[in-house]
């Protein structure tokens, strides 16, 4: 039976507040979902983050949401994206500890998408990655994406000011396969009124088990 477990993880800057969502039945993969910018109201309970976690849980994944350092009950202070990447690594390590034989998936929304991609693309840290509302125009160096060959899903609002549909389509041309871009017509950065489309896109991607091809590749 699907369950939620709240717990504290010993992170690199102190306690990290976490929620683990487990599926109805044996998990097929273990995922970490990261929230939006801590200084802009980002929190693990945000609708996009919850919808993403729910989509993955319904597809058989165990899913960890957590608050970055300095958010909610998590200790520490915002570190401009440096220490936050260490938080992501700690969350992935916890999921690897709990589910040692399962592939790891990393993703997130907005700032959290950037953090997950930067960590997940490094040294095969994740078997598959997803980015929801990636603030691509705000990232000064996208080189880490150009060298990343893990299966990647990008879900973007057509009218997202931080990376609209046309910008993301041009970016995809620079990125190696396998990568999938879903542009949601009429959606802004927060997917207001379009959360169902976002959830459906992520669920369809997870249902295809994109990490299966990555498992056979050298890590």
- Find, among 138, 118, 134, the residue nearest to 189 by Cα: 134
Tell me what pLDDT residue 214 has.
65
Higher pLDDT, 217 or 60: 60
Cα separation, 133 vs 154, in Å, equals: 8
Q: 93: buried, middle or exposed (CB in 10 Å: 19+, 13-18, 0-12)? A: middle
Q: What is the DSSP letter of 38?
A: G
DSSP calls for 118-143: HHHTGGG--SEEEEES--GGG-S--H
**Contact of 150 with 119, CB cutoff 8 Å:** no
Q: Would you list the DSSP string of 160-218?
A: -TTS-HHHHHHHHHHSPSSEEEEEETT--TT-TT-HHHHHHHHHHHHHT-THHHHHTS-
Is the model's pLDDT at 1 over the cut of 80? no
As a whole number, the mean pLDDT across the chain is 95
Q: Provide, rounded to the nearest whole percent, the portion of the chain with pLDDT above 70.
A: 97
Average pLDDT over residues 111-133: 95
- pLDDT digits 0-9 by tens, 179-204: 999 999 999 999 999 999 999 999 99
Distance of alpha carbon 78 from alpha carbon 187, whole angstroms: 29
DSSP state of 63: E
Q: How many CB atoms lie within 10 A of CB 7?
A: 12
pLDDT computed for residue 217 by the predictor: 43
Rg (CA), the chain: 16
Mean pLDDT (whole number) for 13-26: 98
CATH topology for 3-212 is: Rossmann fold (3.40.50)
Distance CA 46, CA 67 (A): 11
Q: Say how many Å lie between the first and final Cα of the chain, rounded.
A: 33
Mean pLDDT value across residues 148-170: 98
Name, in order, each residue with C-beta under 8 angstroms of 45's C-beta and a sequence gap of 6 or more: none
Q: Is the pTM of this model over 0.85?
A: yes
* Sequence ranges of the domains in the chain: 3-212
């Amino acid at each position: 039976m699907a369950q939620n477990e709240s717990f504290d993880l010993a992170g690199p800057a102190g306690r990290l507040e976490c929620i683990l969502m487990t599926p109805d039945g044996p998990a097929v993969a273990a995922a970490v979902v990261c929230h939006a910018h801590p200084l802009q109201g980002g929190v693990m309970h945000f609708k996009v983050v919850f919808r993403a976690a729910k989509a993955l849980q319904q597809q058989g994944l165990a899913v960890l949401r957590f608050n970055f350092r300095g958010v909610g009950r998590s200790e520490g202070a915002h570190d401009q994206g440096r220490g936050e990447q260490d938080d992501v690594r700690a969350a992935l390590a916890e999921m690897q500890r709990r589910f040692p034989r399962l592939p790891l998936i990393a993703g997130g929304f907005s700032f959290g998408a950037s953090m997950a991609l930067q960590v997940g693309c490094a040294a095969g840290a994740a078997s598959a990655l997803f980015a929801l509302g990636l603030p691509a125009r705000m990232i000064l160096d996208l080189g880490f994406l150009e060298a990343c060959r893990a299966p990647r899903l990008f879900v973007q609002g057509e009218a997202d000011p931080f990376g609209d549909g046309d910008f993301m389509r041009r970016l995809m041309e620079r990125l190696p396969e396998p990568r999938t871009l879903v542009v949601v017509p009429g959606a802004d950065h927060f997917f207001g009124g379009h959360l169902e489309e976002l959830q459906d896109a992520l669920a369809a991607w997870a249902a295809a088990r994109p990490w299966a091809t990555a498992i056979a590749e050298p890590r």
